[in-house]
Structure 1
């Protein structure tokens, strides 16, 4: 029995949909069931660039229908004949472009037509033979249902009914008016049929013409219809202007509109199109003049008022722009574009709440505009409603799976919420890297970086700078990742590049200061730190960094001022006050130092570092008993405090108990192997125990940690002198004397080492300086040289 079709040539004019029916429409246009949605989106992303919308008009522009078509050859589109047969003019919409079309072949008995579309830039689909199809196979219908834009639905092949002697394809992939002529595809994106009709029994039974028929058009001897008479230039002004505007060819549109104005000087539309073109070319005043003329000719053109509003707003004349927009709204109260434009303005002005009200009105007027849903997502994000923003962007994606703006925004929101894996999946569902913007990669990278997933973070940051090579923040974050993974050579290049792009980037400058310090460029590190305080004077990290690098440069007064600035900002913590107290003590301001330590102690009386540093302060000032009290408190708070243990051992050394000091110091270096002071004290303690063999390794270790430590160098010189290694003793002594040429202890060691080496002249020179600065020490050195019977000792002048 022949199946009954709902319509052979349906009416393609979309009707107004009452609000109560919106859910029904969304159900029709929405994605396939949850189990097939991922596959449907994959197929849609693959084939939608090859599916077009066909517009049929008569009498110079009156619409008689709209349907879908599939690109099957170079500049060739297949569709149903009933979509185009009543038209005297055809056009094809592909993306933003609208191109003229004409018939080149028709098989009316099969309702199959072939169109030629000059200038169509789309890849033809591959065709699968219908003989290979099986019942139950999943298929996907892609078309333009109800004229609301391309969408995908999925279903199963039911069977292959015979209609008028021809075998067709029956499937459950939902279709609606406007889907006619669209493609029915398999899971690999191959065309298996052209959707054509639905059974009157319901939306779940739909017919498609086998795709094989496209290749049989020529074989069946179907004659191409006669080309319609070429229309005169006059009726094509609007259509051609639409094409130029849709493809953003603004200079061509300007010249075209000039010719239009000459041909039809009273055409308001001609002046409107000229205004659109010159506005895009940055000539705002010309655009306004042309718009005023368009409105003089037709002051009831809502579109001219809307474009004038945009032009005035771009020129900063916001009150005039709002008046023009209100006029457009009065003329066309149901225009969703007006409400959306006002929402844009309100969001840009910082009034996100009012913008939300306006965009929600736009969505009521046009619920199928994915651009409106994108804007709602941006507004919800500005309002601090990330979950609602995600839902809005997801709706935009449901309406248009190729919407890169929504996909990027959704991925950024997920990344910022710490849901990096979901963000990556959101991007993977789209077209991948080439459609992901730099800001989205940055957000993903930051999320992975914060989770210490440096490999994936680095990959995201590299993709960010590939997407936008001038994206300074992307280079900055790449540098931070390189710093964490200890790749200083590449880090140097990246930081130099990013600071050329933007010298004010805080983290990049901070990383370069640290890099320069690691490489021994103390002055460069201090210079970068000073720049940080200029870039961000209210950022305590900048001042702390200046203090740290100023200490390394032995500029203690600058370090003091830096910590005081942190205090002035109200951001000084216990560690800041402890460092300030230490510095003040070292420059001799004991009263201010004690005040800083007292403030730190009030904040946290059990802070072990503070207690240890207070002990050191009192020890340096000769109050050993008070130092001992603070050390005991520090170790009670933290028994593994290596600094406190080292200081306690030093007090034992002062009290003549080097063996007890060694035991404590061995614990200290075990707890903190990088504490140079503990190694120095350990070496000193071994020396006091006359255990030179253990003293030298401890002191050499301390110099690997603190190469400029004067006391370590002095103890090592003494140690090598005691084992009569004159060369090493003299080398360390001379190193000290390059920095402190009048230090008596170093001059004494240099004198003895030179005598041991048989260099009486250099020994005498050192001895003369020593006698000049400290005659008592000089007398002692001469006595030691004579007692050791060193060559040339007797020649040393008496003090």
Structure 2
């Protein structure tokens, strides 16, 4: 089997430095300013429409081509204090409406802001800002720089190549590359996780796709992490408008708690994460994210009851918190509360129909329950939402195979292998599906492939031996079983299969010894006891056959009853 519930790793990444405070305030707009903003909005709308209608070239540009195109729109942003001392620097990108987009934390607490372009500094001022998303748009006097081509972060997929252009450590217009390594879901969208190196000074620069289109702003990275870098999606930049800073101090404090919590999560220090979250919920008892993170931490240390309590609080504070409902479902599963788990997963799906993890997890429960139609439907929903969802494809294959549709199961397992071809468990499941479909050669090839990946995979070797035996290839079955018992002398299933192969080859003495070895490994092995009892009954050794019956009765009364009727009465 496979299963693997999906839970826990959906924390909101703090989009700005923990030391930041918020001081840029919104000002009343004049009529001229209103007209100016409306014109900017119209320009942005037309550009977004054009980018959707005419998505651009269908080929990947080289790194040098992307740099030549995109770097013309990247600037350096300087933050000066009230004494004229530069206290921070970052990067920025010239947007289609002429404003420069950067991270809020780059210009935070600035008395003066300037933009450096082609060796010349230009005066700038903060216009629109969204501290919670760590975005600020600057008006720059006299700047005449080319604007970027806007792309779509929502269309990015894990594994795609991306490029960052910024000013890491003050080096103007520096290019680095990497791939999209994942996404972090939050309310209203998701952060882009990338292996593209990000350093101090890169913040607010541009993250570009393979066609040189802006897809995000690098904004946050873990200094102690390995390629753990994050960018805000370009869609958030386009949505940014005047942001009132009422409650900004509370938002800043929340970001600090989140930053520390994410650090514990990254290091897989679950006990430390529990302690951190306990402090957080004490400091901010009405913060649903604090309770949600606490629930994740308790899930990780196996304290299901505490996880349930924390996650229940999270969804009480925020009833449409789909991720929290999903993790609450997992906590219920660990606690053995299957019905409650199903209801929690349903709530996760109801509040967010595109929560692929919740569809996957409820599918596992349906599969274990034996409701194969609902299981198949749930897994299909999961892979429709997230086409590269490996675990969902594997579990879909298991559900289809159990349902008695091996050809459809083969398609699901084949898709899973296209995502990860180095997983021996998937190859083993594919082998079973081929065997059920009657394609013995493909079945044998799949089991062999599983063993090439993991030579110590006892289950795959046992399945290979059984497949040989079922198709009458007794010599190959015996040799495979002998290999299995040599690799693992305590493999009861291998000894059992070897006994069956010897028995079918009419090598009764060797079969008897193999069954005894199986019982040595597992004294409660019902199949080995039945095989042993059948041998003694056939040899008219009634006393030993009755001893087998008594042992069976203590283990499996139904099997003992059938054995008595078929071989002793």
Quick check: 2:221–2:229 contact (8 Å CA) kept in 1?
Answer: no
CA deviation after TM superposition for structure 1 residue 309, in Å: 2.0
CA deviation after TM superposition for structure 1 residue 533, in Å: 4.6
CA deviation after TM superposition for structure 1 residue 484, in Å: 2.9
**Alignment counterpart, residue 315 of structure 1, candidates 282, 297, 301:** 301
**Alignment counterpart, residue 95 of structure 1, candidates 155, 158, 174:** 158
Find out whether 1:83 has 2:150 as its counterpart: yes
| Secondary structure of the structure 1 residue equivalent to 2:164 | strand
CA distance in 2, matches of 1:97, 1:324: 36
**Alignment counterpart, residue 241 of structure 1, candidates 222, 243, 252:** 222
CA deviation after TM superposition for structure 1 residue 548, in Å: 4.4
CA spacing shift, 1:576–1:329, aligned 2, 3 Å: closer
Structure 1: runs of 5 or more not aligned:
1-5, 14-27, 29-43, 67-78, 85-89, 105-114, 124-145, 151-180, 184-190, 197-227, 229-235, 250-265, 581-595, 597-799
Matches within 5 A, 1:596-635: 596=569
Per the alignment, residue 368 of structure 1 pairs with 354
Matches within 5 A, 1:17-32: none
Give the CA RMSD over aligned residues.
Answer: 5.3
Quick check: 2:305–2:335 contact (8 Å CA) kept in 1?
Answer: no
Quick check: 1:99–1:243 contact (8 Å CA) kept in 2?
Answer: no
Find out whether 1:292 has 2:327 as its counterpart: no
Structure 2: runs of 5 or more not aligned:
1-40, 53-57, 64-92, 96-100, 107-128, 134-145, 168-172, 182-187, 193-207, 231-251
Matches within 5 A, 1:162-177: none
**Alignment counterpart, residue 104 of structure 2, candidates 37, 41, 59:** 59
CA deviation after TM superposition for structure 1 residue 522, in Å: 5.7
CA distance in 1, matches of 2:223, 2:395: 30
Aligned residues: 400
Per the alignment, residue 348 of structure 1 pairs with 334
Quick check: 1:401–1:430 contact (8 Å CA) kept in 2?
Answer: no
CA deviation after TM superposition for structure 1 residue 337, in Å: 1.1
CA deviation after TM superposition for structure 1 residue 480, in Å: 0.7
CA distance in 2, matches of 1:92, 1:453: 39
CA deviation after TM superposition for structure 1 residue 387, in Å: 1.5
| Secondary structure of the structure 1 residue equivalent to 2:165 | strand
Quick check: 1:272–1:290 contact (8 Å CA) kept in 2?
Answer: no
Find out whether 1:510 has 2:510 as its counterpart: no
| Secondary structure of the structure 1 residue equivalent to 2:44 | coil
CA deviation after TM superposition for structure 1 residue 318, in Å: 3.0
Deviations 1:427-455 (A, max 9, x none): 44566273484444434433443455422
CA distance in 2, matches of 1:342, 1:309: 8
CA distance in 1, matches of 2:345, 2:533: 51
**Alignment counterpart, residue 544 of structure 1, candidates 527, 530, 533:** 530
Per the alignment, residue 240 of structure 2 pairs with none
Per the alignment, residue 561 of structure 1 pairs with 547
Find out whether 1:121 has 2:107 as its counterpart: no
Per the alignment, residue 404 of structure 1 pairs with 390
Quick check: 2:474–2:505 contact (8 Å CA) kept in 1?
Answer: no
Quick check: 2:515–2:532 contact (8 Å CA) kept in 1?
Answer: yes
CA distance in 1, matches of 2:490, 2:350: 45
Quick check: 1:9–1:82 contact (8 Å CA) kept in 2?
Answer: no
Deviations 1:146-188 (A, max 9, x none): 95899xxxxxxxxxxxxxxxxxxxxxxxxxxxxxx989xxxxx
CA deviation after TM superposition for structure 1 residue 473, in Å: 1.7
CA deviation after TM superposition for structure 1 residue 549, in Å: 4.4
CA deviation after TM superposition for structure 1 residue 342, in Å: 0.4
CA distance in 2, matches of 1:497, 1:433: 31
Per the alignment, residue 36 of structure 2 pairs with none
Matches within 5 A, 1:158-197: none
CA spacing shift, 1:523–1:460, aligned 2, 3 Å: same
CA deviation after TM superposition for structure 1 residue 270, in Å: 4.8
Find out whether 1:385 has 2:430 as its counterpart: no
Matches within 5 A, 1:121-270: 121=179, 239-241=220-222, 244=225, 247=228, 269-270=255-256
CA deviation after TM superposition for structure 1 residue 118, in Å: 1.9
Greater percentage in helix: 1
CA deviation after TM superposition for structure 1 residue 339, in Å: 0.5
CA distance in 2, matches of 1:377, 1:248: 32
CA distance in 2, matches of 1:478, 1:149: 45
| Secondary structure of the structure 2 residue equivalent to 1:432 | helix
CA deviation after TM superposition for structure 1 residue 287, in Å: 2.8
CA distance in 2, matches of 1:101, 1:92: 18
- TM-score (norm. length: structure 1): 0.41
Per the alignment, residue 34 of structure 1 pairs with none
**Alignment counterpart, residue 478 of structure 1, candidates 464, 471, 496:** 464
CA distance in 2, matches of 1:396, 1:574: 43
Q: Which moved more, 1:540-549 or 1:470-479?
A: 540-549
Find out whether 1:9 has 2:41 as its counterpart: no
CA distance in 2, matches of 1:148, 1:530: 58
CA spacing shift, 1:304–1:119, aligned 2, 3 Å: farther
Per the alignment, residue 21 of structure 2 pairs with none
Deviations 1:511-530 (A, max 9, x none): 11234557887665333323
Deviations 1:602-654 (A, max 9, x none): xxxxxxxxxxxxxxxxxxxxxxxxxxxxxxxxxxxxxxxxxxxxxxxxxxxxx
CA distance in 2, matches of 1:501, 1:267: 57
Find out whether 1:357 has 2:343 as its counterpart: yes
Matches within 5 A, 1:385-784: 385-428=371-414, 432=418, 434-435=420-421, 437-450=423-436, 452-488=438-474, 490-492=476-478, 494-499=480-485, 506-516=492-502, 524-533=510-519, 541-550=527-536, 557-562=543-548, 569-571=557-559, 579-580=567-568, 596=569
Per the alignment, residue 216 of structure 1 pairs with none
- TM-score (norm. length: structure 2): 0.55
Larger Rg: 1
| Secondary structure of the structure 2 residue equivalent to 1:350 | coil
Quick check: 1:336–1:366 contact (8 Å CA) kept in 2?
Answer: yes
Find out whether 1:337 has 2:372 as its counterpart: no
CA distance in 2, matches of 1:513, 1:301: 62
Quick check: 1:92–1:117 contact (8 Å CA) kept in 2?
Answer: no
